Amino acid sequence: MISKITPWEVPSKIDYGKLMKEFGLESFGKLPEQFNKNMLFRRKIIFGHRDFSRIATAVENKQPFVMMTGLMPSGKFHFGHKMVAEQMIFYQKLGAKVYITVADVEAYNSRIPDMGQLRTTAIEEYLMNYAALGLDLRKCDFYFQSMRSKDGKKASAYYSLANMLARHVTFNEFKAIYGDISPGKMASSLLQASDMLHAQLPQFEGPMPVVVPVGCDQDPHLRLARDMSQRIKGFNFIQLSSTYHKFMPGLKGGKMSSSDPTSYIALTDSPEEASKKIMKYAFSGGRDSLEEHRKKGGNPDVDVSFQMLKFALEPDDDKLSAIYNNYKDGKLLSGELKQIATEKIAAFLKEHRQKMEKSRVPVQRFVEEQGF
């Protein structure tokens, strides 16, 4: 099982319970009240962690901490990405300094050798949507792996950490964690470890708790960064914390894929496009006939429309619960469930489009200030 969940390949059906045991992830105990207000935590979509207690403590005691995450600038910004953005915004409101890396070097080394295109996608798709969703650009450190900072001492420290980490890992470890490994992948992994750790360098925040929220496919990167961080001397890195969220299913029930627009709804899709996609592609948990559905009920756990409500669109637990039960009991039909989802999506996309328009100028200003 472990060998199948690598950052390069995600099987479409995952037994999260089994995975927690095999990866050695912990489930959440009692968390500070603020976490209960977050839908993803409350609904256990964020289902496991490593060393999260020091983040909970920092939040409780209002001590400084960092949230670090990244994006791979390929294709459209969709609801899967939105789930990550919601976590950025949540932690930012909790007081975290938010570090966001554009993994353009990793993208270059793995599949997209056009740095200009990567830059445009990162800004036009990701940064624009982050801002529209409510990320405060003034309170985050958004950067490109290929261009860390206008400050050369900061930039040098970030890259040199990646290069120095290379001393503290063996090829056999890379192979054990990733399976097949090429020089490009190895360079990307080291850089990604620095993405996670460099906030603690003296040129940045200094040693402090850092939480990295990821999908479980990213855990190999975490394990490697955690191991190396404790071997390298002189920096006194506090061990990384991480949380693991479930994958939002693709429209057709499998994996969301940036290269297949019928597998996701983009936040820049028009309400009409989105409705069409839901009606045409969204995998249904309903029965083959109306009669059978009324009698045996549907399966909301595999129904993509329901999952979209659960992951993103229905913040009210009671309402979500009612939909769940009605569908399971056969009172709610698949077409009706799709209708609910479609309306929610349409309302969201319409409002989001306006927010995108409002974000254009501040994003442009931010990009100019940062010198990207």
Residues found near a copy of itself in the complex (CB under 8 A)? 105, 108-109, 113, 115, 144-157, 159-160, 162-164, 166-167, 169-171, 174, 181-184, 186-188, 190-191, 233-234, 371
In the complex, minimum distance from the CB of residue 93 to a copy of itself, in angstroms, rounded to a whole number: 29
Nearer to a copy of itself, 26 or 151 (CB): 151
Separation of alpha carbons 326 and 332, rounded Å = 5
In the complex, minimum distance from the CB of residue 30 to a copy of itself, in angstroms, rounded to a whole number: 41
Query: Is there a contact between 332 and 324 (Cβ–Cβ < 8 Å)?
Result: no
In the complex, minimum distance from the CB of residue 7 to a copy of itself, in angstroms, rounded to a whole number: 16
In the complex, minimum distance from the CB of residue 216 to a copy of itself, in angstroms, rounded to a whole number: 25
Separation of alpha carbons 76 and 265, rounded Å = 9
CB atoms within 10 A of CB 126: 21
Closest to 148 (Cα-Cα) out of 215, 195, 189: 195
Nearer to a copy of itself, 66 or 105 (CB): 105
Nearer to a copy of itself, 45 or 224 (CB): 224
Residue appearing with tokens 């071997």: 231
In the complex, minimum distance from the CB of residue 129 to a copy of itself, in angstroms, rounded to a whole number: 25
Q: Which two tokens stand for residue 132?
A: 């529209």
Nearer to a copy of itself, 174 or 348 (CB): 174
Closest to 193 (Cα-Cα) out of 234, 140, 230: 230
Nearer to a copy of itself, 129 or 145 (CB): 145
In the complex, minimum distance from the CB of residue 169 to a copy of itself, in angstroms, rounded to a whole number: 5
Nearer to a copy of itself, 163 or 270 (CB): 163
- Going by their DSSP bridges, the two strands 97-102 and 66-71 should be labelled as parallel
- Neighbouring residues of 334: CB distance < 8 A, sequence distance ≥ 6: 284, 285, 286, 293, 298, 303, 305
Q: Which two tokens stand for residue 162?
A: 């990646």
Nearer to a copy of itself, 109 or 258 (CB): 109
Nearer to a copy of itself, 10 or 164 (CB): 164
- Neighbouring residues of 21: CB distance < 8 A, sequence distance ≥ 6: none
In the complex, minimum distance from the CB of residue 175 to a copy of itself, in angstroms, rounded to a whole number: 11
The CA-atom distances, in angstroms, between 84 and each of 213, 270, 332, 355 are 8, 22, 30, 18
**Four-residue CA torsion sign, 328, 332, 335, 339:** negative
In the complex, minimum distance from the CB of residue 81 to a copy of itself, in angstroms, rounded to a whole number: 24
In DSSP terms, which residues pair with 97 in a beta bridge?
A: 66
Residue appearing with tokens 């969220």: 245
| 3-state DSSP assignment of residue 14 | coil
The CA-atom distances, in angstroms, between 160 and each of 11, 28, 155, 167, 348 are 35, 35, 8, 12, 43
Separation of alpha carbons 40 and 87, rounded Å = 8
In the complex, minimum distance from the CB of residue 75 to a copy of itself, in angstroms, rounded to a whole number: 20
In the complex, minimum distance from the CB of residue 72 to a copy of itself, in angstroms, rounded to a whole number: 15
Nearer to a copy of itself, 30 or 167 (CB): 167
Nearer to a copy of itself, 63 or 163 (CB): 163
